[in-house]
Structure 1
Amino acid sequence: MLNTSKTVSDVIHAHFNGLTRAERQLAESLLENYPVSGLGSITTIAENAGVSTPTVARMVQKLGYKGYPEFQAHLHQELEATISNPIAKHDRWAADAPNRHILNRFAEAVMTNLRTSLGELKTASFDEAALLLGDRNRNIYFVGGRITGALAEYFFTHMQVIRPKTTLMSSNASAWPQYVLNMQAGDVLVIFDIRRYEADLTTLAKVAKANKVEIILFTDQWMSPVAPHAGTCFKLHIEAPSAWDSSVVTLFVVEALIEAVQSSSWDETRERIHTLEGLFEQARLFRKPK
């Protein structure tokens, strides 16, 4: 039975090793410009992949779909979900929402997101990201979009305390070339990009990767176009009964990474925090208890 909680991309990846050579060629063609590459007619899809029409029909059935129309219907649903604006999204949730208090409904959605995301998250990817972020020989850059820029700033603020060589990039794409100018091979670029993906972030990722910069991506279950350029990708579930997507799971993973990095070099981190507290004292930033 087909698992409707998974994207078509997930299904393709899960079945990839069991596909024939022609079917793998088709799968790679579909994933290359996903999901748009799968929105044409079955004949067009076959021609673009250089395979026969029967190959397309056989593969979609092997993936668990009743036929090509059902396969394509799922792609259309995904595409609609990724481009839905806040008003359309709120109307959809409001129509389907059970008659319960928003706190309970929201908590249920967030907990489902967390369980699903953790079930799909590979600990090896998490450990690899923590290792990159903790390497003091690398410069770390953080950037996000119109909404996710706040998450990038939050991550940067903590990492700046833990280690040197951290930079928060401006959300203004016209300023990015100056940052890229200073990036060296082996540096790390942390990108936050969720649905209604921002084209400028994809351009930035392409340029950074060409300069051999390591990219860590935080995205959603539908996957930002940045994903093919990222060495480490956190694919996290974000839907909630709201006009806006939820950042709870993304923030959870960010905070877990912060702890992993600071604990890996606690002696140095503790010394930096001690020095910083002295600077706060001199600046009289915080009120002293009476």
Structure 2
Amino acid sequence: MAEATPTVAEALRGQFDQFTRAERQLADALLAHYPVAGLSSITALAETAQVSTPTVVRLVKKLGFSGYPQFQARLRAELAETISSPVAKHERWAGTAPEAHILNRFADAAIDNLHRTLSRFDTESFDAVAELLADTNRQIAMVGGRITRSLADYLFTHMQVIRDGLSLVPSTSSTWPHYLLSMRPGDVLVVFDIRRYETELIRFVEMARAREVTIVLFTDQWGSPAVKHAQYVFPCRIEVPSAWDSTMVMLFVVEALIAAVQTQRWETTRDRFNELEGLFDEARLFKKFT
């Protein structure tokens, strides 16, 4: 499968260390309000980032664009992708689908998503988040959207074996203020949000951040608007030949994160595992064959 073109956000993050100080300042401004910041005039963008217009031109060319109009055209195309309905996504894939069986096409796309995500993955952020989740002085909350709440549930269920001090925030937004009430500075909120980004979820993240909660965001390659409130962001590729997006890569990262936290807290986790097994036996939850 041919390598797909990275999003502008991926290119900005991937080349960030190669930029000048002014270009990094501009990149930060673009990522903080992505992709909307790049859809304004070149003068307005330069003023927002407090850099010169030549700096904007240089950065755009470093990203591989011939000029600002081509750069904006890419951003507009990306914006259209983030608001695509399931029907639109299906029609796009169906129009270019090869003859191979859907299992093979889906597997190729999913594996490509994994490779491309890991090729740009920030392992330092991963290690830092594992440290945060292992720190029992911090309360940890997890929340997801209409589809991604299953990932929040999965992370919560596994983390319950490893440590106390966890909460799974339900999808009913009317209950969210109750959860915010218990959040303290330094606590952690793990959020899952992919296109078409959910406005109530973004507002919840904003309110949690106002309470000095550390935000860990799992999102797609374009990036949820919640990015601007997050201290740690894990962009994962999600496109597959389907009307729905794939969360396989996110699940992979979540499972790796669970393994990392478990390793850090293995002595305690082992004791909790043993106690939990006793409770399973007492409740006769699983069938015994002996």
Asked if Structure 1 and Structure 2 have the same fold, meaning a TM-score greater than 0.5 normalized by the shorter chain, the answer is yes
Report how far residue 10 of structure 1 moved: 3.1
Q: Structure 1 pair 262/64, CA: closer, same or farther in 2 (3 Å)? A: same
2:100 matched residue in structure 1: 100
Q: Structure 1 pair 99/130, CA: closer, same or farther in 2 (3 Å)? A: same
Partners of 2:125 and 2:261 in 1: CA distance = 14
The amino acid across from 2:221 in the alignment is Q
Report how far residue 60 of structure 1 moved: 2.5
Is 1:276 matched with 2:284? no
2:116 matched residue in structure 1: 116
Partners of 1:40 and 1:7 in 2: CA distance = 18
Partners of 2:46 and 2:235 in 1: CA distance = 29
Q: Structure 1 pair 222/279, CA: closer, same or farther in 2 (3 Å)? A: same
The amino acid across from 2:271 in the alignment is E
Aligned alpha-carbon RMSD (Å): 2.3
Q: TM-score, normalised by structure 2?
A: 0.90
The 3-state SS of whatever aligns with 1:201 is helix
The 3-state SS of whatever aligns with 1:226 is helix
User: Deviation digits for residues 53-80 of structure 1, max 9, x if unmatched?
Assistant: 6664454234321122211111011101
Q: 1:145-156, aligned counterparts within 5 Å?
A: 145-156=145-156
Q: Structure 1 pair 277/52, CA: closer, same or farther in 2 (3 Å)? A: closer
Report how far residue 267 of structure 1 moved: 1.9
Report how far residue 87 of structure 1 moved: 0.6
2:140 matched residue in structure 1: 140
User: Deviation digits for residues 183-235 of structure 1, max 9, x if unmatched?
Assistant: 11211111001111111222122221222211111111111111122121111
Is 1:9 matched with 2:9? yes
Partners of 2:14 and 2:253 in 1: CA distance = 24
| Runs of at least 5 residues in structure 2 that lack an aligned partner in the other structure | none
Partners of 2:126 and 2:163 in 1: CA distance = 19
User: Deviation digits for residues 153-188 of structure 1, max 9, x if unmatched?
Assistant: 011001011111111011111111100101112111
Report how far residue 12 of structure 1 moved: 3.6
Percent pairwise identity: 57
Partners of 2:23 and 2:121 in 1: CA distance = 27
2:244 matched residue in structure 1: 244
Partners of 2:47 and 2:232 in 1: CA distance = 32
Report how far residue 274 of structure 1 moved: 1.4
Q: Structure 1 pair 31/21, CA: closer, same or farther in 2 (3 Å)? A: same
1:256 matched residue in structure 2: 256
Structure with greater contact order relative to length (CA < 8 Å, sep ≥ 6): 2
1:167 matched residue in structure 2: 167
The amino acid across from 2:104 in the alignment is N
User: Deviation digits for residues 33-92 of structure 1, max 9, x if unmatched?
Assistant: 221222244455456556666664454234321122211111011101111011100110
Q: TM-score, normalised by structure 1?
A: 0.90
| Runs of at least 5 residues in structure 1 that lack an aligned partner in the other structure | none
Partners of 1:217 and 1:24 in 2: CA distance = 22
The amino acid across from 1:278 in the alignment is G
